[in-house]
Amino acid sequence: MITELDIHLPLQKALREDARRKAAAQKLGISPYRICGMRLLKESIDARRRPICKQLRLLVGVDEALPEAPLPQREYPAAPPGAPRIIIVGSGPGGLFAALRCLELGLRPIVLERGKDVSARRFDLQPINCKGYVVEDSNYCFGEGGAGTFSDGKLFTRATKRGPVMEVYETFVAHGAAPEILTDAHPHIGSNKLPNIIKAMRGSILAAGGEVHFRTRVNGLLRSADGKRLLGVHTADGQEFSGDAVILATGHSARDVYRMLHDEGVLLERKPFAVGVRIEHPQSLIDTAQYHLRPGQARPEGLPAARYTLATKIRERGVHSFCMCPGGHIVPAATENDEVVVNGMSLSRRNSPFANSGFVVTVEPEDTDAYLAEHGVLSGIAYQKALEVATSRAGGGMQKAPAQRVADFLAGRLSATLPRTSYHPGISSWDLNTLLPESVSTRMREGLQFFHRKLRGFAGEEALLIGCETRTSSPVRIPREADSLQHPQLAGLFPCGEGAGYAGGIVSAALDGRRCAEAAAAMLRK
């Protein structure tokens, strides 16, 4: 008999196979000697009480051995001669997974990426971190792999109803990710490991006859004579790429793409997004609160850097943590030189002494109405941009960010001193109450006090706010039909992923890329 079961064990026992075997046998009501094999399917930490436990889901063989479980492999068939050409704009998770799915469906993907390949892109992070200027087409947001490549690689998702999440994880493992992401309840690759995985995915695309073009920024559309069908795209270097469909997976920071679509009369919609700051604490403070440790007590061996998720609603607007990075760093994520934007990331070891997360407030479309007369449907982008430019001025330039101790933010006073931070370009003392829109800052103050009651020390003396976090999601949605996934006005255009307003992270964007590839294939079969 082969069966799945869940067991709950104290941390140290959960690390031992004999303890797992004994617990599994006890739950099944059999002798431990009848268990011929066990395989871990999923594990998570239960720190709600002491002792801290692990929740394990096991596949157990009773009186028979378990079948072998080889690591996932992905072999993509070569695109046949004359295969339909699918133009994919953007090589983030939406674009890459769309390209791989195209190959599985007998289509030829042509990937166009405005930035550089992932190896060259790494060198363009040095200017923004150390010299204070942005390489505007190659940075934390733009380039092969998309925004997640050098800003964390978190794979945890709640989008389990959007598609085959496990297939996404298996595709990463097949291209070099650690097999542990298949069993971890909060899988994480890390910014130090994700680049090689992205290169391997590109290798799969090229080996099967797909194309990948870097430094190829799309700046126009090729349409049919009646203007109702998309036939391809123009690029800034004067090339034209024609195809049978276009999957637009440009990410939430490609503002020039939104402007191009708007100028070409393509229907766009305003949507909610969120803005705020990064909040940073010593990781030891978060460990102490989440693992119920004594002050000064070290995190027990076998436990990862603790994380948190906090959310509430204040006067019809969400206030929540976002993209929490245990053992992480705050990084500069601006895409133009007149702005400052902060984001968070963690390496695979998550061994930084700092923890950070976005601490943000929902912005509804009507909150951006001050920009509506001038910018129309792009009012949310104008709202973001104005805050980012003001943040740059408050920080003093050179990518320095304005910062304030939480206690001073709550009291409405300038911080006389600032603690150490992981933000490499540096911070300057500023009253963030005067920088953030009042509708945001007032809710943040209430949210800080509420969350402090939920997580001890969250708004304490060691907490630091660094501004501003503005790129949580796109303020614009590119509409599409529910069934065909095509734009309602422009046949052959498949808006995809975060930039189109249909995803919120690596996994959900990857799933949406797969769906758009399948929808393009379905269109071509008709």
Pairwise pLDDT comparison (148 vs 431), residue with the higher score:
431
| Every domain of the chain and the residues it spans | 2-62, 85-268+478-525, 273-469
**The pLDDT of residue 487:** 98
The pLDDT-based confidence of 49 (bands split at 50, 70, 90) is: confident
Q: What is the mean pLDDT of the chain?
A: 94
Paired tokens of 455: 């997580």
Strand, helix or coil at 276?
strand
85-268+478-525 classified as CATH 3.40.47.10: no
**The pLDDT of residue 230:** 97
Query: CA 414, CA 410: separation in Å to the nearest integer?
Result: 10
Residue 187, classified by CB atoms within 10 Å of its CB into exposed (0-12), middle (13-18) or buried (19+), is buried
Sign of the dihedral through C-alpha 27, 31, 33, 36: negative
Lowest pLDDT segment from 50-59, 369-378, 388-397: 50-59
List the one residue out of 16, 21, 5, 17 whose CA is nearest residue 55: 5
The pLDDT-based confidence of 512 (bands split at 50, 70, 90) is: very high
Cβ proximity of 390 and 398 under 8 Å: no
Determine if residue 327 is left, alpha or beta; phi over 0 gives left, psi from -120 to 50 gives alpha, anything else beta.
Answer: left
The pLDDT-based confidence of 186 (bands split at 50, 70, 90) is: confident
Pairwise pLDDT comparison (362 vs 187), residue with the higher score:
362
**The pLDDT of residue 280:** 98
**The pLDDT of residue 153:** 65
Give bridge partners of residue 8 from the DSSP assignment.
55
What number does CATH give the domain 2-62?
Answer: 3.30.70.2700
**The pLDDT of residue 416:** 97
Per-residue DSSP letter, 151: S
Alpha-carbon distance values, 74 to 43, 86, 101, 146, 210 (Å): 25, 21, 11, 22, 15
Paired tokens of 325: 């990075």
Query: CA 507, CA 53: separation in Å to the nearest integer?
Result: 27
Backbone angles phi, psi at 524, to 5 degrees: -75, -20
Neighbours of 363 (CB within 10 A): 26
Query: CA 307, CA 167: separation in Å to the nearest integer?
Result: 25
Per-residue pLDDT of 384-443, as tens digits, reads: 999 999 999 999 999 999 999 999 999 999 999 999 999 999 999 999 999 999 999 999
Pairwise pLDDT comparison (300 vs 400), residue with the higher score:
400
Within its chain, how far is the Cα of 465 from the centroid?
A: 21
Query: CA 435, CA 433: separation in Å to the nearest integer?
Result: 6
List the one residue out of 46, 31, 54 whose CA is nearest residue 22: 31
For residues 190-204, average pLDDT: 92
Paired tokens of 72: 């996932």
One-character DSSP codes across 301-319: TTPPPP----EEEETTEEE
Per-residue pLDDT of 198-251, as tens digits, reads: 999 999 999 999 999 999 999 999 999 999 999 999 999 999 999 999 999 999
Say yes or no to pLDDT of 83 above 70.
yes
Same fold across 2-62 and 85-268+478-525: no
Paired tokens of 186: 């909060």
Lowest pLDDT segment from 12-16, 453-457, 493-497: 12-16
Cβ proximity of 25 and 34 under 8 Å: yes
Say yes or no to pLDDT of 152 above 80.
no
E-state strands within 333-475: 342-345, 354-363, 401-405, 427-429, 464-469
pTM for the whole thing? 0.94
Say yes or no to pLDDT of 279 above 90.
yes
For residues 72-89, average pLDDT: 94
Which H or E element spans position 329?
Answer: strand 329-332
